[in-house]
Structure 1
């Protein structure tokens, strides 16, 4: 069978002349060669066309009705999904939580602590830098600052949750989270600045109106009865020198290291210094300049309590706990960040998608042509290809294999004439 096919191909001549009687051997050979070249070129052309047509891609628009969030996550990035709602409120798909400094959840702003360090009526009898005279008021201020910061965060979150995301097209998850993170960052910057501005305004009003503390930390008031009732009030000095700049009249922010002092024979001696904690003209001003390093140290707390008339015990804060504010940071530094250690955000893409509620999505799909398209393309080209090859190949073969014509030049004849 194979031998028959090979024999048939060897003798196949599709360019055979109709008048076979006039064909010479050279022309027959040309036609056989042209036939073989024609078949080889035709086969290679069909293979090339098939390969080329299979590589050609087409782009089509696909519309998906009522897509699900799982489908959307797998679709191309050119996906277009118009939202049913133009405006989506942040609170419907975002939760934002503030983790406050641990002082705001500790015993040191509790009523139990404030009562334990309160000296009652004796508060005004201590030296101006004595913790027993001003400490209770300072921690009441600290408790109020924690409460105010929490209130400001809650008010800020309420406004933030009412903010709307306006977009006619559905956003992909990565783009949505990047967009919301920018808004969260702006919120995290705005709320502390607003809180600090309000606190600065209160301090300026207190100093501007020369309001004084009832703990005798601003003025030294003396009542002298020498036949006439006379009251003398002098601004207290703070610091080591009695210069005017150290008087509360010039600045409420001056102060001394807070601790336990002993007054004997008009002499004041220090019994215990509270590391980083200050006393000054006003409880709030000296508190903001203080640090909380003593209250991270159990030994320091126990030492302080030993000078107070209380049997209560209190646990020190955890210094190893992850924090943005080391123990030697001032309370003012903590206030500048509204006492927030960390903002914890949760953006639910599923909730956002449900609020967007796209009815349909359109995307581009790129795909190669199927076998039917390739077959139709080849069939549409086969007529022209066979015609061109059928005309050109025999002509080329004949041109290449043109027979060589040998011209025989006759030699001149020599004639000899012999005369007798």
Structure 2
């Protein structure tokens, strides 16, 4: 029967956190002072258990010892304990400065903003729209047009809508010819025609027709010229700038076209005023014929009496261009009081004054005057004349900016235009501009990848620079400390001249340059002389590279963008003086500014324009003087200035 094997299990705790345990086999413990050494036989199994706390302590101790013993500046020539201690301190300073430099560069790279110029080649319309939708991009967005001049007609469509009178029956040849038939019918029955009878108002409608035609032709010619006028722009306008600028251009076109039209009308009125032209209606001059054997014709300026609901006044065409009276329906030529008065329809000194001061209210469908006119002349001519079926003006016309009692002068001042229809097409403008490229600037922080890339590019040069400078600084520091200490210990300081000190410093720098070795490696089988020679070549090439880089940087111009928010006028002037007007760009917060905000124009007229000779009182004096003159004497022996007061549209 085999003997039973004794199994022994021993557990030992050393008190330092390490537990020892063994199972089976003989175990021998050897005592060394306070410790114990366990010696196991080959048949014993030993397990060492280490806690996480102890492992962390051991690792920290290992790292600490490694940092304490770290020496990045080992030298095969300097291996004394003091030299090694100096090299270790140099290594610590080097690592500290390098770490601080990396932290500063990283924070600067991540926190600083950088202005970047982005360029897009051959951008599409959708891409440009996307760029313009970003508020931080649109202010710096520039798209160069390949076509510098673009006719307005390529992207602007203008269409005027006229007052209904210019397309009504009252400006047709049939309506105008009807007055000739009416005159013939009245003279046929020997009724004659009163000078203020509506039957003689045909010239007003002829002039109204001419003004409508002239307005249409003027606008048509102006539109053709406008559509051929080019928009000159080297840069693509943004949508907002395009709308504002085109709105201003269209408004200016409307004003200029209207002004051109009114200049002609005003010229027509001035000619008739100044020359005292006798109207074909005899509305400004009355004539009388006297004599038996020889006829004598006398002319007198017409006077009118105008009566309204409140008062009446008498005026003369000699000194009042606005003198007028109402047209009416007269039963016979000798009648003084009309059978019917036509409200708003006036006979003035000249045909143009008659039309411009009149209204068209009698010819609207909500008035009964056209029926009265038709019935009156139908009865007067015993049924021999009728105006026929003419369509009246629509009183319920939607969208009209004029009332039924608006004067013709108010219609003429707007060229009979009710409204303008204008449309601008930005996509057509973009297609004509054909931008070859768009560029814009953005200001943003660098991302982590760019920052790491820059640091990697700088770390090499920074590391080498510190490896050269730090040992020199440490040596200089130690030398200064030793000198100060030696001076403190000596009772009598050594007197050395300034020149000798410079010589000593120069010798030390020379010796240091001879001994400096950035490629010192005790493990490499390379001679010290070769390492020093390589160091000198390296330093020489580094200095040459730095000199070239400094010269290149100082001679090279870089484009830097600085943004000043809400600058004052003084700041703007200072920027222009410092950088020039071409380099300073300040986008306006308002796309359109009226000239009156910054331009003030004043003109000095000839003194005659403010003298007494053009005043109403002086013209009235001339008129009274003319009336007091003997007619026969005045007609053959005197020239008398007759004044008339003209009113512009």
Same structural fold, with TM-score higher than 0.5 when normalized by the shorter chain? yes
Could you give the per-residue CA deviations for residues 39-66 of structure 1, whole angstroms, max 9, x where no partner exists? xxxxxxxxxx999977766543222221
Q: How far apart, CA to CA, are the structure 2 residues paired with 1:9 and 1:322?
A: 93
Mapping of 1:117-136 within 5 angstroms? 117-118=179-180, 119-121=182-184, 122=186, 125-134=192-201, 136=202
Alignment CA distance shift 1:54-1:128 (3 Å): same
Q: Pick the aligned partner of 1:192 from 230, 255, 258.
A: 258
Q: Pick the aligned partner of 2:438 from 361, 382, 387.
A: 361
Q: How far apart, CA to CA, are the structure 2 residues paired with 1:5 and 1:178?
A: 79
Highest relative contact order (Cα 8 Å, sep 6+), 1 or 2?
Answer: 1
Mapping of 1:257-406 within 5 angstroms? 257-263=326-332, 266-296=334-364, 297-308=366-377, 309-365=386-442, 372-373=449-450
**Secondary structure of 1:191's aligned partner:** helix
Q: How far apart, CA to CA, are the structure 1 residues paired with 2:237 and 2:306?
A: 64
Q: Does 1:169 align with 2:232?
A: no
Preserved CA contact (<8 Å) 2:361 2:367: no
Q: TM-score, normalised by structure 1?
A: 0.71
Q: Does 1:63 align with 2:128?
A: no
Alignment CA distance shift 1:12-1:232 (3 Å): same
Alignment CA distance shift 1:12-1:331 (3 Å): farther
Q: TM-score, normalised by structure 2?
A: 0.48
Preserved CA contact (<8 Å) 1:131 1:279: no
Could you give the per-residue CA deviations for residues 249-283 of structure 1, whole angstroms, max 9, x where no partner exists? 4444321012212337x442222222211112222
**Secondary structure of 1:71's aligned partner:** helix
Preserved CA contact (<8 Å) 1:99 1:342: yes
Alignment CA distance shift 1:202-1:12 (3 Å): farther
**Secondary structure of 2:271's aligned partner:** helix
The offset of 1:117, in angstroms, is 4.1
The offset of 1:89, in angstroms, is 2.4
Gaps in structure 1 of 5+ consecutive residues: 20-48, 385-420
The offset of 1:5, in angstroms, is 9.6
Q: Pick the aligned partner of 1:150 from 209, 216, 231.
A: 216
Alignment CA distance shift 1:194-1:6 (3 Å): farther
Q: How far apart, CA to CA, are the structure 1 residues paired with 2:404 and 2:426?
A: 39
Alignment CA distance shift 1:18-1:202 (3 Å): closer
Could you give the per-residue CA deviations for residues 312-369 of structure 1, whole angstroms, max 9, x where no partner exists? 2322223442223222221112212222222222222122222222111112355665
Q: How far apart, CA to CA, are the structure 1 residues paired with 2:242 and 2:107?
A: 43
The total of aligned residue pairs comes to 350
Q: How far apart, CA to CA, are the structure 2 residues paired with 1:259 and 1:60?
A: 81
Q: How far apart, CA to CA, are the structure 2 residues paired with 1:327 and 1:89?
A: 40
**Secondary structure of 1:360's aligned partner:** strand
Mapping of 1:210-229 within 5 angstroms? 210-223=276-289, 226-229=292-295
Alignment CA distance shift 1:63-1:304 (3 Å): same
Give the alignment's Cα RMSD to 1 decimal: 3.7
Mapping of 1:106-125 within 5 angstroms? 106-118=168-180, 119-121=182-184, 122=186, 125=192
Q: How far apart, CA to CA, are the structure 1 residues paired with 2:356 and 2:329?
A: 20
Preserved CA contact (<8 Å) 2:183 2:199: no
Aligned match of 1:253:
322
Q: Does 1:179 align with 2:218?
A: no
Could you give the per-residue CA deviations for residues 59-94 of structure 1, whole angstroms, max 9, x where no partner exists? 432222211222111113122111112322222222
Aligned match of 2:146:
84
Q: How far apart, CA to CA, are the structure 2 residues paired with 1:256 and 1:221?
A: 19
The offset of 1:286, in angstroms, is 0.9
Preserved CA contact (<8 Å) 1:301 1:316: no
Q: How far apart, CA to CA, are the structure 2 residues paired with 1:153 and 1:9?
A: 97
Alignment CA distance shift 1:267-1:339 (3 Å): closer
The offset of 1:378, in angstroms, is 9.3
The offset of 1:187, in angstroms, is 2.0
The offset of 1:199, in angstroms, is 1.0
**Secondary structure of 1:239's aligned partner:** strand
